[in-house]
């Protein structure tokens, strides 16, 4: 009898080294820009994608992994009798979860597919825990139950500089009320229900910093941070992200705030200048 193996997709904002170290298999989505197709984070880096998006004549397009790709992965990983837990980006924003489910139904392996209800590092919190629990010999049932708990402990906010990518990419979700906002307004939404929901609008990074400081201070009262991550889509959002990191560290005393550039698959829809603010707290 084999072990439990973890599969995910490229929306989790983890490096190939991190994935390899933990024995996690990542199935990449695809991005199409300037007439060329790339496997997300495999054929093109986050930085290179932002440069191409800034110079492109039209918005990039994305697509989920084909069912056959998932099927091959599941059959290969399960050939030794291993069970598989496949954890994916929210099904409200991509067909990736459904493609994985279809493949699981076709596979000869024992596969459990999980909708994380999140993207980016918020997705990685579940993947990391699953990998650690699997390596310590916990059962599939134990792991799935823990993932439910992590999901309830997680919060994700997205602030965008432009709504163009979200609107044209069809990922606006319940945040349709933001459409038609005035110039220079920065909408902030959350992803608590697996889809974007409006939270507020701010007119500057200074006001955004104050919003997050006030909001997080209230939400984190009496709680212990497990993870805190800030992922951005370049441009002037990098400086804002650094300031927010400093504010979070000052406010919470938590010294492990992650910061980085988000994957092409997320930048393509969130647009240049977007910032994702997420945490797990118990």
Query: Tell me: the pLDDT tens digits for 136-183?
Result: 999 999 999 999 999 999 999 999 876 554 544 444 554 555 554 445
Q: Give residue for tokens 């459904």.
A: 98
- What is the structure's pLDDT at 180? 47
- What is the structure's pLDDT at 163? 58
**Is residue 128 very low, low, confident or very high in pLDDT (cuts 50, 70, 90)?**
very high
Q: Of the given ranges (54-58, 69-73, 78-82, 165-169), which has the lowest mean pLDDT?
A: 165-169
In whole angstroms, give the CA distance from residue 242 to residue 54: 22
Query: Tell me: the pLDDT tens digits for 65-74?
Result: 999 999 999 9
Q: Say whether pLDDT at 35 is over 80.
A: yes
Distances (CA, A) of 30 to 43, 148, 254, 263: 9, 28, 35, 11
As a whole number, mean pLDDT of residues 41-51 equals 91
- What is the structure's pLDDT at 269? 85
**Is residue 194 very low, low, confident or very high in pLDDT (cuts 50, 70, 90)?**
confident
Distances (CA, A) of 60 to 38, 43, 138, 237: 11, 15, 41, 20
Q: Give residue for tokens 């991550």.
A: 229
Over pLDDT 90: what percentage of the chain? 73
0.85 surpassed by pTM: yes
- What is the structure's pLDDT at 162? 65
- What is the structure's pLDDT at 169? 47
As a whole number, mean pLDDT of residues 33-49 equals 91
């Amino acid at each position: 009898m084999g072990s439990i193996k973890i599969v995910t997709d490229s929306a989790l904002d983890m490096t190939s080294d991190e994935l390899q170290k933990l024995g996690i298999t990542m199935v990449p989505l695809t991005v199409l820009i300037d007439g060329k197709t790339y496997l997300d984070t495999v054929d093109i880096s986050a930085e290179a994608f932002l440069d191409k998006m800034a110079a492109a004549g039209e918005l990039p397009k994305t697509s989920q992994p084909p069912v056959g790709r998932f099927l091959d992965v599941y059959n290969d990983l399960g050939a030794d009798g291993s069970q598989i837990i496949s954890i994916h980006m929210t099904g409200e924003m991509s067909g990736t979860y459904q493609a994985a489910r279809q493949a699981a139904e076709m596979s000869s392996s024992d596969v459990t597919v999980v909708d994380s209800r999140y993207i980016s590092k918020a997705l990685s919190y579940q993947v990391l825990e699953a990998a650690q629990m699997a390596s310590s010999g916990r059962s599939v049932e134990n792991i799935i139950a823990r993932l439910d708990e992590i999901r309830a402990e997680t919060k994700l906010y997205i602030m965008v500089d432009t709504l163009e990518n979200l609107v044209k990419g069809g990922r606006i979700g319940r945040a349709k009320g933001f459409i038609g906002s005035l110039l220079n307004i920065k909408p902030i939404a959350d992803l608590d229900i697996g889809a974007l929901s409006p939270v507020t609008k701010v007119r500057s990074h200074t006001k955004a910093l104050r919003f997050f400081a006030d909001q997080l201070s209230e939400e984190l009262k009496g709680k212990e941070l497990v993870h805190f991550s800030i992922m951005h889509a370049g441009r002037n959002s990098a400086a804002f992200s650094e300031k927010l990191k400093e504010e979070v560290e000052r406010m919470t005393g938590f010294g492990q705030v992650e910061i980085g550039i988000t994957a092409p698959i997320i930048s393509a829809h969130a647009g240049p200048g977007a910032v994702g603010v997420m945490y797990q707290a118990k």
